[in-house]
Chain A
């Protein structure tokens, strides 16, 4: 014999609750349909509630004076199955209203939206890339775009192996930049609030109002990784900390593209660059020279190390070409062992950010129950406050700290 609830109906056009002022029944009472079972009061009216069904009261929904929500169970009535006349004769089976599977708006989770992809090109009909059904399905399921994968098969056909190399090179399919070089810049007009900030900042300071954020990074894990990689590097160039920081920087820039930009304050335009060309501030006899590590986003660790060695050597010997000394989109400066506790690096205009690496040393670290020796290295990063707010700057530096403290995050999509 099913127990049917009588819910407190909305008695007054949109009221949300009502106070129980009187019971007209007790547990065990037999009621007929339409018998008054209770009185409730809203801010507009006191109302008698008639029973929906005939049967025996088996539960009361509250005490006198208690406030019940509209829709809450007022009473439970034990009815004989056939007597429950007023509910629809054939009890329509409770429609199993599962979460609607088809929701075109939200594409299935597996397909992640590529972050900071350049503006989608107009939909031109390129020739469909050549690949077998199995390979096409795998690429589709992984949320990748066939156009981005280099085919090595006959006539450029994309094989499973090609997909593997694509994935291996770039770790997570979408988070990191692909091995192919990214091109294009995105222009953002400095208007409205941003222009006001820029104007205010300029009055307040010399040409670039700097904000410097200093952070301490625990590089113990980073150094272990570097040591292990150097141990098994064979004939590859020796890894310094620079390639690792450069990799971390590229990774952080995918989430903070605004740092990888030039600010043309006359024209009032920010040129945000897709490729990451890292200026490496290098002290030479002639003075500060900034060779540029081009397309750092596309370089593997060892290639990066090799390139850095080559460039800094060329810079020191003055053989670096003009092309190798210009075009940086962001700069890293390191005083190496002399790196001091913290520095206030000056931005390499017209860039908007510069990352200073300070010296690495063992410092006591409180791990919750005692001090332990940990390898620490400070980061001193300066930002152009006209276009970078303090908050963004701090978030960016935190991102770098996290990446450097757990280096695996640099290579694996979290």
Chain B
């Protein structure tokens, strides 16, 4: 069997894995990346990118098919879903090829094949030209997560996960979505805009329960407007013989006819089936426990990305990947982030960074209704909100909900990382007319002298 040695061996080519590999290559480490499927992991192939493409297409179609005050009319709008899928796939391919280029440029050795861990420093990869045994000084586990399956509603047949939902070649007449989290809402909203009759079942009393009611109310309102049937405090029980989705809502049971049932109740870390259990690492529930340099309980073994638990976000995985590469190369890097932005591409979009409102913090909101740019985009629902310590005026959290609000993620994250105060926001000129003006205004508002409210 072919054998090789490297300094850093990365299992999993998703955002965490390939970024770690690129950074390690840049630092001159002898780097090997093992990935069975296409590079880019969930994000590039069956997650972030394809879903954003679908959302964009659905939004465009919906605009055509909806009367507006601008006097613009398009007769008989229609969509060729196969073409939309082809377009989406072209983007995915362009990006995955881009990743291959980046890896090659950093002279990373990519081994295509299933990797199995033999011990803390050795892996066996089943490559197209035979098995290969790879030993290393540092092992990085970046195997990510997969859609969580509900025991009573196993994937298969009409029960689909986000992966299948994003590559449907026909818009289902009726779609039931189990799970009111961001995945369920993003796809549900898109399908609704494409003409599907969508029912969303959520166990909590509101959608996106990890956020406060005020922040998610505009989304709930919009869903209503789009004709989405929202079943809150409801639990999915399983499929009836006839194939209807059985649910229990406040004690009463009912059935929902649906051509497809999308189960989007969360993501489970991939920790089985490739020898990880034999390392007997210290776990944190279903996830691998890691310290500030992403080291696991075993010396010289690291873990990054979704497999290390929440927040399961591609950009967090990438940040961890950089830290591990730099640590292995001997630099002083460690996790020292003050802000990890989270974005939901619902309609309207939500962006949240840092602390949500709480008793010991003050918070103020500036509505987009008072924002010129928002008005010129026909969407003045939503707001920007700042959470801050009234004594020191230091900002501890920034959230926004609104059409196009996702693009405020950068400013929000930078503000929190820089330990910004309210004056930093209010005294920074924000271009007019832009949505971001609302961020400056929320600074003035908090300091007691709003100018446009």
Contact = CB atoms under 8 A, between A and B. Distances in A.
Nearest to A109: B330
Contact of A90 (B2, B300, B418): B2
Interface string B1-30: 011110100000000000000000000011
Contacts of A267: none
Interface stretch (A49-57, A99-107, A347-355): A99-107
Interface stretch (A26-34, A125-133, A361-369): A125-133
Contact of A132 (B30, B138, B327, B419): B419
B423 A154 contact: yes
Interface residues of A, number: 26
A83 interface: no
B330 A154 contact: no
Interface stretch (B108-116, B261-269, B331-339): B331-339
Contacts of A154: 393, 421, 423-424
A193 interface: no
Interface string B315-347: 000000000000111111110101000000000
Contacts of A97: 5
A101 to B, nearest CB: 6
A157 interface: yes
Given A90-B2, A92-B3, A104-B299, A140 B419 contact: no
Nearest to A107: B332
Contact of B419 (A95, A100, A101, A130): A130
A242 B215 CA distance: 67
B336 A101 contact: no
Contact of B30 (A96, A108, A110, A128): A96
A264 interface: no
A102 B137 contact: yes
A92 B134 CA distance: 12
Contacts of A108: 330-332
B135 interface: yes
A131 to B, nearest CB: 7
B125 to A, nearest CB: 16
Contact of B336 (A98, A100, A104, A136): A136
B295 interface: yes
B331 A102 contact: no
Contacts of B4: 93
A181 interface: no
Q: Which of B2, B137, B333, B393 has the most A CB atoms < 10 Å from its CB?
A: B137
Contacts of A157: 419
A141 B326 CA distance: 12
Contacts of B30: 96, 98
Contacts of B424: 154
B394 interface: yes
A132 B417 contact: yes
Contacts of B7: 98, 101
A140 B392 contact: no
Nearest to B338: A128
A207 interface: no
A131 B419 CA distance: 6
Interface in B109-140: 135, 137-138
Q: Which of B7, B331, B332 has the most A CB atoms < 10 Å from its CB?
A: B332
B393 A140 contact: no
Contact of A140 (B29, B328, B329, B332): B332
A104 B295 contact: yes
28 contacts: A95-B5, A96-B5, A98-B30, A101-B29, A102-B137, A102-B327, A104-B300, A108-B330, A111-B332, A128-B338, A130-B394, A130-B419, A132-B419, A133-B336, A133-B417, A133-B418, A140-B336, A141-B332, A143-B332, A154-B393, A154-B421, A154-B423, A154-B424, A155-B392, A155-B393, A155-B394, A155-B419, A155-B421
Interface of B: 2-5, 7, 29-30, 135, 137-138, 295, 299-300, 327-334, 336, 338, 392-394, 417-419, 421, 423-424
